[in-house]
Amino acid sequence: MFLGSNNKMKKYLIISLLTIATYTSSGQISIDSIKAIIKHEVAAKRAKGIIVGIVDSLGRRQIVAEGVVSDSDRRLPDSNTLFEIGSITKVFTSLLLADMSLKHQLTIDDPISKYLPKTVRAPIRNGKEISLLSLSTHRSGMPRFPHNVDPRNPDHPYADYTVDRLYEYVSTFEPPFDIDSRWQYSNIAYGLLGTILEKVAQKNYEDLVVERICRPLNMSNTFISLTASEMSNVAIGHAETGTPTAFTDLGAIEAGGALRSNVADLLTFAEANLGLNRTELYPAMQLTHLLRAKKDGNDTYTTMGWTLSNDNGKYHLFKDGGMPGYRSFIGIDTINKIGVIVLANSNNSVSDIGWHLLDSSRKIESYKYPWALLDTMRSTIRIKGVDAAIELFHELKAAKNAFFVFNEAQLNYLGTELRRDNKIKDAIKIFELNITQYPESPSAYESLGETYRRNKNEKAGITYFEKAMKLDPQNLHWAFMLEKLKKKRSG
């Protein structure tokens, strides 16, 4: 089902449905229970630190934290500790779109060609063009990430992804299905939306967010660029494996996930969306809450930036986010006026915690640390070398010890860590082990091909990218890389 922006009757029916829907509360969770939950999850290595914020209909705030800012900084995260919030950024981007439309600076149904340079070809399918609303609601047909990425630093794949490269992608993009007919999550669509909003306002994205959202809401700790003093208050991010990570630079697609914030600011944002603190942005926030279309696979619907969940008559708006070292969740119950924020400095999901706090009938999946094999092999390499670690791998796998999880991710992480440490020969041995153990994994071949390419062995790089392409011929990034590698060898 699709809700057009000008269809007032359908809007009225949906707003009425959300207003009169019966909601059976399963009871608020006590602060002691919340503390016990996140203490257990930190102990289980879900994250180094987790912080939860809750606001209720009276505007009362509760903030609970467990864990540490980092292994080297044992402070407990607090309301001012900064985290990357990942895709929650999209809610801010769509709010900018909604606010600019209400101020008649643009129309959400405008085609993107209205704002693109004449040198950029706007994708069209069956006579229909992508609109600003299509970008905001993930119905443009664009994929999660662009394929034309060849970063100087593979650990920061979008840091040097420029607007010109974004326009190059848009010009060559062919929608795989009719525009607005299906939902497909897209960071690049949001990158393009942010770029267009910048052009309209003639300001950069961060300045737009700060000026039009943060200042009116008195949110002083939500931004992209951090000063040295602000950096001292950051919760250090960690990969799923527990190893520290750096902040992520998203380049031209920053409007899809680049914001950093803290639980205090996000509680303020939740309050404003719930109408507990009425501001000049509230009409635009209401516009972003409207149901637009059914998402695929479950009883959820897309809005502008948010997802609307309908679980047996319980209606919630939520957005979660993930970055290489962080996870985040914001959820609001617009009927009972409850807002929940969960932030963690690890790339392990906390959405189940957020859902449980928003609706206690939703269960938490207790985290089980799966990286014992990686830890064991890493320590073996450090003490005895890579060959001993490979021999140990075979012994442990043959023993079928349930304590160890065997999958391609264990070896892929280990190989990547070795490559980052410039131990290229060791990394190649681990990646080669990975493809012998998991020969149907395209990503295993990609990792090996990328390592050879970075080590100036284009011939081997081509070989392994071709093997990845054979297993997954629809992956346009591998086709892009193969074209570049072959051109370089022939030139």
For 293-318, how does the pLDDT look when each residue is reduced to its tens digit (9 = 90+)? 988 777 789 999 999 987 766 779 99
Q: Please state the rounded mean pLDDT for residues 76-95.
A: 97
What does the block give as tokens for 15?
A: 């707003």
Q: Is the pLDDT of residue 20 over 50?
A: no
The strand ranges marked E within 130-255 are none
Percent of the chain with pLDDT over 90: 76
Query: For the purposes of burial, counting CB atoms within 10 Å of the CB of 18, is it exposed (0-12), middle (13-18) or buried (19 or more)?
Result: middle
Let me know: does 471 contact 439? Beta carbons within 8 Å.
no
Q: Is the pLDDT of residue 22 over 50?
A: no
Task: State the pLDDT at residue 362.
Answer: 87
Task: State the pLDDT at residue 361.
Answer: 86
Residue count of the chain, please give it.
491
Q: What are the backbone dihedrals phi and psi of residue 474, each rounded to the nearest 5 degrees, phi first? A: -85, -5
pLDDT band at 25 (very low <50, low <70, confident <90, very high): very low
123: left (phi over 0), alpha (psi -120 to 50) or beta: beta
Task: State the pLDDT at residue 312.
Answer: 66
Helices (H), 244-401: 263-274, 282-289, 351-358, 372-384, 386-399
The neighbouring-strand residues paired with 2 are: 293
**Cα angle, residue 163 at apex, residues 157 and 166 outer, rounded to 5°:** 70
Q: Please state the rounded mean pLDDT for residues 270-279.
A: 93
The amino acid that residue 325 corresponds to is: G
Let me know: does 320 contact 260? Beta carbons within 8 Å.
no
State the chain's mean pLDDT as an integer: 90
Adjacency order of strands within the sheet including 326-333 = 61-67, 49-55, 338-344, 326-333, 314-323, 307-311, 300-302, 293-294
Residue 168: how many other CB atoms lie within 10 Å: 14
Let me know: does 342 contact 171? Beta carbons within 8 Å.
no
Query: For the purposes of burial, counting CB atoms within 10 Å of the CB of 457, is it exposed (0-12), middle (13-18) or buried (19 or more)?
Result: middle
Strands 260-261 and 128-129: unpaired
CA 70 to CA 442: how far, in whole Å? 34
pTM: 0.89
Q: Please state the rounded mean pLDDT for residues 226-237.
A: 93
The neighbouring-strand residues paired with 332 are: 317, 339
Task: State the pLDDT at residue 75.
Answer: 94
Per-residue pLDDT tens over the stretch 312-343? 667 799 999 999 999 999 999 988 999 999 99
Q: Is residue 429 helix, strand or coil?
A: helix
**Cα angle, residue 271 at apex, residues 199 and 226 outer, rounded to 5°:** 50
Q: How remote is the C-alpha of 17 from its chain's centroid?
A: 30
CA 235 to CA 241: how far, in whole Å? 16
pLDDT band at 17 (very low <50, low <70, confident <90, very high): very low
pLDDT band at 14 (very low <50, low <70, confident <90, very high): very low
CA 48 to CA 74: how far, in whole Å? 10
CA 208 to CA 103: how far, in whole Å? 14
Task: State the pLDDT at residue 313.
Answer: 64
The lowest-confidence range among 27-31, 120-124, 229-233, 400-404 is 27-31
> What residue ranges define each of the domains in the chain, with the CATH number in brackets?
8-358 (3.40.710.10), 372-490 (1.25.40.10)
What does the block give as tokens for 10?
A: 């359908």
Residue 59: how many other CB atoms lie within 10 Å: 12
CA 115 to CA 330: how far, in whole Å? 31
Whose tokens are 């990286």? That residue is 371
Per-residue pLDDT tens over the stretch 203-218? 999 999 999 999 999 9
Helix and strand element counts for the chain (H, E):
19, 12
Q: Is the pLDDT of residue 402 over 80?
A: yes
CA 257 to CA 259: how far, in whole Å? 6
Kindly give the interhelix angle for 424-437 and 386-399, rounded to the nearest 10 degrees.
20
What does the block give as tokens for 31?
A: 């602060």
